């Protein structure tokens, strides 16, 4: 407890770990405090679970969103000396991936609105020119 790391302009402090039990798993939960400029802006829990029926370990990452960016905190495997590995990722502008799909969808809808540009759309039949009548001399 008390160890710190910096990611994306935020200081992440490890506050401690506790054991917990769920309906079909046991887990170690790690608590982290996130500060910006010395002011606490968020706290997050991350856990390493072991599902007892199949002895399958999983990791539950703690995710905090700041605007369009996210900070991920994940507990890793225990080390031989009793410590635990902690992984911290700063993903700037990660939410723009989702907003980009919305923009692409809107572009597709706009492109479908112009009949001339649709692939496979039947073309309108051209109207044949009407014969003009000329006066006989």
Q: Give the model's pLDDT for residue 119.
A: 63
Stretch 99-122: mean pLDDT? 80
The per-residue pLDDT for range 70-100, each reduced to its tens digit, is: 999 999 988 899 888 999 999 999 999 988 8
Summary mean pLDDT of the chain: 89
Statement: residue 44 has pLDDT above 90 = yes
For 24, 50, 55, 105, 127, the CA distances from 75, given in Å and listed in that order, are 20, 13, 18, 37, 72
Q: Give the model's pLDDT for residue 33.
A: 97
Stretch 51-74: mean pLDDT? 94
The structure's pTM equals: 0.73
């Amino acid at each position: 407890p008390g160890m710190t790391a910096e990611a994306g302009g935020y200081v992440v402090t490890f506050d401690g770990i506790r054991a917990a039990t769920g309906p079909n798993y046991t887990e170690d939960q790690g608590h982290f405090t996130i500060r910006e400029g010395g002011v606490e802006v968020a706290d997050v829990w991350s856990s390493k679970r072991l599902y007892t029926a199949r002895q399958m370990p999983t990791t539950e990452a703690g995710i905090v969103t700041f605007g369009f960016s996210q900070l991920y905190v994940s507990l890793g495997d225990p080390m031989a000396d009793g410590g635990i590995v902690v992984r911290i990722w700063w993903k700037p502008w990660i939410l723009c991936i989702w907003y980009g799909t919305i923009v692409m969808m809107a572009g597709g809808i706009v492109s479908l609105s112009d009949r001339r540009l649709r692939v496979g759309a039947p073309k309108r039949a051209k109207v044949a020119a009407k014969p003009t009548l000329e006066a006989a001399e």
